[in-house]
Amino acid sequence: MTVHHEQLLHEHFLHEQRHDWTLDEINALFALPFNDLLFQAQQVHRAHFDANAVQVSTLLSIKTGACPEDCKYCPQSGHYNTQLEKEKLLEIEKVVEQAKAAKEAGASRFCMGAAWRSPRDKDLLLVEEMVRQVKAVGLETCMTLGMVDGEQASRLATAGLDYYNHNLDTSPEFYGEIITTRTYSDRLETLSNVRDAGMKVCSGGILGMGEDAKDRSALLQQLAKLTPHPESVPINMLVKVPGTPLENVEDLDPIEFIRAIAVTRIMMPQSHVRLSAGREQMNESTQALAFLAGANSIFYGDKLLTTGNPQVDRDRALFAKLGLHPEKRETCESEATQAARLAQQAQQQVHAERVAELAVDASV
């Protein structure tokens, strides 16, 4: 089936949050002449965002290495020898120091990542306190901690977590070539738990892992099926780390990467599309094309968990050259919202203490 690109654009404005994209439609977008594709993506982008504003986040690894998962792209996996030094969970004070520095550098969101399959209860208690204290700094908060069940997601939401990141990585069909220790449905279940708890979803994928073009279409189809669309969609270019199984995979053509950014923007018009991992390897022209294609979020700082990222001064220089500016966001809780959240936490604490008392009485 051939889909005319003018018809596609018309449908996007009529259906801003479509969840029924067919692979034929997505493939037709990818097949558009490059100039036509970017023109459409820019029209959609300008209909929903300030075309020159970029949301800025900072990412901190709060627990590094020794992850039991076997994701073939990841230097933190305990299955591969990448010479990565393992680190325990960071102290809360150090996390808050980094958050304050990130805010001073211009970030509006602070993302924290831990190399876990799923957080343990004792770790989750510390993570909840990190969320509370980082929010007190005046930043939006995001966590990526692996799989979370409904109760864990609810606890994070109660602590005030704004976003939870859990990427789908690739298409369902190619997924088994990259990861065997958790299933695609596991990932979708975590995203469902996050949404049900009332948090915003950050979910995207990694390109350049040896997938076919059809896998990139299928990945975006899966992301667009999520209801509502993820508020943040990171599009990562694989960073090839020595010691991982993908260290010698063939490079993805940068033009194909830009096409994926543009198609993501068209399919999920109200989402922030994040130009994420791989920027260290991109020249300024490639990054400029990504912003033109609809990317409007980046990570700001020296590292993305364990891999390099353009330094702040370079990013500032690029923003100045392109006439871009950090997106302004209301990141502090209002007094009413904070009071409501603290009251809810107090009620839950009283309930927990009462349950504990009843358990003691029952055992006597």
User: Is 187 a known ligand-binding residue?
Assistant: no
Give CA–CA dist 206/223, Å, rounded. 13
Chain centre distance of CA 84:
23
Question: CB-hemisphere CA count at 13 Å for 41?
Answer: 29
The token pair at 91 is: 């102290």
Question: Is 142 marked active-site?
Answer: yes
Q: How far apart are CA 209 and CA 325, in angstroms?
A: 32
> Catalytic pick from 109, 111, 182, 279?
111
Q: Under a CB-based contact definition with an 8 Å cutoff, are residues 204 and 276 in contact?
A: yes
332 is in an annotated binding site: no
Per DSSP, which regions of 208-265 are E strands?
232-237
Residue among 109, 132, 142, 216 flagged as catalytic:
142
Q: Please tell me whether 71 is known to bind a ligand.
A: yes
Given 74, 182, 187, 216, the catalytic residue: 74
Does residue 71 have an active-site annotation?
yes
- 290: tokens are 């990504």
Q: Please, which residues bridge with residue 326 across strands?
A: 54
Residue with tokens 């770790």: 123
3-state secondary structure of 115: coil
Confirm whether residue 74 is marked as ligand binding: yes
List CB contacts of 153: < 8 A, sequence separation 6 or more: 164, 190, 193, 194, 196, 197, 199
Selecting among 132, 155, 259, 274, the annotated active-site residue is 274
Distance CA 108, CA 210 (A): 34
d(CA 364, CA 4): 75
Is 202 annotated as ligand-binding?
A: yes
Cα(11)–Cα(34) distance, integer angstroms: 20
Catalytic residue among 132, 182, 187, 202: 202
Which helix (H) or strand (E) segment holds residue 144: the answer is strand 140-144
111 is in an annotated binding site: yes
Active site residue 332: no
Which segments are annotated as binding site for [4Fe-4S] cluster?
67, 71, 74
Which segments are annotated as binding site?
67, 71, 74, 111, 142, 202, 274
Tell me the catalytic residues.
67, 71, 74, 111, 142, 202, 274
Which segments are annotated as binding site for [2Fe-2S] cluster?
111, 142, 202, 274
